[in-house]
Amino acid sequence: MLILVTYDVNTQDAAGRRRLNKIAKMCLKYGQRVQNSVFECLIEPHDYAFLQNELLKIADLTKDSLRFYNLGAKYNTKIEHFGTKTSYDPEGVLMF
């Protein structure tokens, strides 16, 4: 299933900047950054539950915002891309 994770972290203090870094690193473990605070994660349901739980532990929900969009298994029909950045195939080969 494809999950879109978006976040807005209050970075007015050092603790906020640390939370932002931790959230981004956790998202990178499970997905591909498609915009600054937006990740596409092609993951299994149990991994999604784990990721969501970990991000909720990191965030300060009195200052930060997290959004999770479940695009499901048939996500290809739900995504349209326009603009300069080229899209990628989440099921394709990923080289490091």
Find, among 8, 3, 2, the residue nearest to 68 by Cα: 3
Distances (CA, A) of 7 to 73, 76, 93, 96: 22, 23, 26, 25
Tens digits of per-residue pLDDT, 11-23? 999 999 999 999 9
Find, among 89, 78, 53, the residue nearest to 68 by Cα: 53
Per-residue confidence band for 75, with pLDDT thresholds at 50, 70 and 90: confident
Per-residue confidence band for 85, with pLDDT thresholds at 50, 70 and 90: low
Residue 37 reports pLDDT greater than 60: yes
Residue ranges covered by each domain of the chain? 2-73
Q: The pTM is what?
A: 0.80
CATH architecture entry for 2-73: 2-Layer Sandwich (3.30)
